[in-house]
């Protein structure tokens, strides 16, 4: 759950103009770790939060041209 919260905070910064590159460093890696650890702990809330943050971060990268 901690990784999902940290990724969500990074996502808030990454949504600002000119800060989309933060998604590569502070959003996607913690979100993926949150998905892995949430699955190992069988924590549904952590999995959901991390999945939503990862999808929003990837969407922001696609819209900004940083992820095709």
**pLDDT digits over 6-53, tens only?**
999 999 998 888 888 888 888 999 999 999 999 999 989 999 999 999
In this structure, what is the dihedral angle of CA atoms 40, 8, 28, 13, given to the nearest 10 degrees? Answer: -170
Res. 68: pLDDT tops 70: no
Cα separation values, 66 from 5, 21, 25, 47, Å: 23, 8, 13, 25
In the Cβ-directed half-sphere of 64, how many Cα atoms lie within 13 Å?
A: 18
Dump pLDDT digits (tens) for 24-35.
888 999 999 999
Say if residues 27 and 53 touch (Cβ distance below 8 Å): yes
Q: What is the pLDDT of residue 56?
A: 92
């Amino acid at each position: 759950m901690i990784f999902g919260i940290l990724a969500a905070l990074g996502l808030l910064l990454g949504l600002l103009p000119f800060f989309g590159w933060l998604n590569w460093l502070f959003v996607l890696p913690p979100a993926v770790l949150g998905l892995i650890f949430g699955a190992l702990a069988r924590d549904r809330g952590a999995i959901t939060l991390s999945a939503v943050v990862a999808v929003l971060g990837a969407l922001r990268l696609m819209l900004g041209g940083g992820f095709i």
